[in-house]
Amino acid sequence: MQTLMKPQLCVRSEQATDDYLQYLRQMNISHCFVMFSNEHSNYEDVNRILEKLRRQGFTVDDAGNGFLYKHLSIHLGLEDRDAWIDKYNDLNRILGQAGVPVGYIGNSRVSHTGYFASEATHGALGRTVDMEEILRRPPVTEKTVEEAELWAAFHYLLERALPVAKEYGMKLALHPSDPPYPMYEGYASLIHSGDCYRKALKMADEIAPGVLGMKFCCGCWLEGGKHFGDILADLREFVRARRVLTVHFRNVSCPLPHFTETLAEDGYFNMMRIMRVLVEEGYDQAIYPDHIFQTDEKTGGDMAQFAYAIGYMKGLMAAAYDEQNR
């Protein structure tokens, strides 16, 4: 079936083996993103890995290094941030030169209470957030970083990151804070609502129009519930504005303050409704199942989890395209 949107899975740089690429290929997956380890975030390794993927028929939609683009010194504006921004920009130069169209930009923090088995997960270990527990945690930094300081640090980053991305023909995708709650662990969250995204995009466009985009994380939108926004209306708005560079197709048991990640089919939101909006709006970028349960080899491992998740997602996608074509 010809589809506009591109189902993708992750290839970690140390995972780009012939066997792993065959695993992707046999699920009819030809798009991926690459998470480069620190060891592989250099010119030679990036180009070697990208060439291998392309030689085997894969399109790399986006790529980055989680250690660099999520670095707390950058996002909290700590003293040593310039050195980290330089390293981050250097990798974007390498990726852009190699033809990767989308890179990443912070401040996508991730916290959770733990991985727990429950009815909502059918006994698997699912990522669980108990906001009351997280709010009791001590600050991770010496001094609290309030919202205004966090946005100032983001502006500082944008001024340095956007011109480099623009020069190298890249867009940068911004993920929400997860959980999307305004302040915890001693520092503010950048993106905890649709309005935070609107503010970030406006700020970025004043520096370099159209370079900043988003990882539209359905999971975070659903975690935040009404506080985050109206997921279907927001998705429509940002897809129309060509700001969605990838979609994270993920469901949760209920909105904050206490949720567990679930299979796409049995969280509180009907994911088919999201798929319909994407098809109706002619969304033509990447879509990714995002998180999986924590498993071990005895219960099939990560590869089984991702195979199930992508198969279910592609099934909904096929159904949504079929509805439209009737």
Q: Which is nearer to Mn ion, 81 or 248 (CB)?
A: 248
Nearer to Mn ion, 127 or 248 (CB): 248
CA dist., res. 217 & res. 274, Å (int):
11
Residue with smaller CB distance to Mn ion, 252 or 307: 252
The distance of closest approach from Cβ of residue 246 to Mn ion in the complex, given in angstroms and rounded to an integer, is 9
Residue numbers at the binding site for Mn ion (CB under 5 A): 217, 248, 290
Given the complex with Mn ion, which of 31 and 248 has the nearer CB atom? Answer: 248
Minimum CB distance to Mn ion, residue 130 (Å): 19
Phi, psi of 90 (to 5 degrees): -60, -40
Q: In what order do the strands lie in the sheet with 114-117?
A: 114-117, 125-130, 258-262, 251-252
65 with 35: CB under 8 angstroms?
yes
Shortest Cβ 44–Mn ion spacing (Å)? 30
Least distance in Å: CB of 248 to Mn ion? Answer: 3
The CA–CA distances, whole Å, from 188 to 110, 213, 221, 251 equal: 13, 21, 18, 24
How far apart CA 48 and CA 101 sit, in angstroms, is 17
- Smaller CB distance to Mn ion: residue 89 or 108? 108
* Rounded least distance, CB 249 to Mn ion, Å: 9
**CA angle 73–79–82, rounded 5-degree value:** 70
From the list 75, 68, 54, 74, the residue with the least C-alpha distance to 11 is: 54
Choose among 114, 121, 115: nearest CA to 265: 121
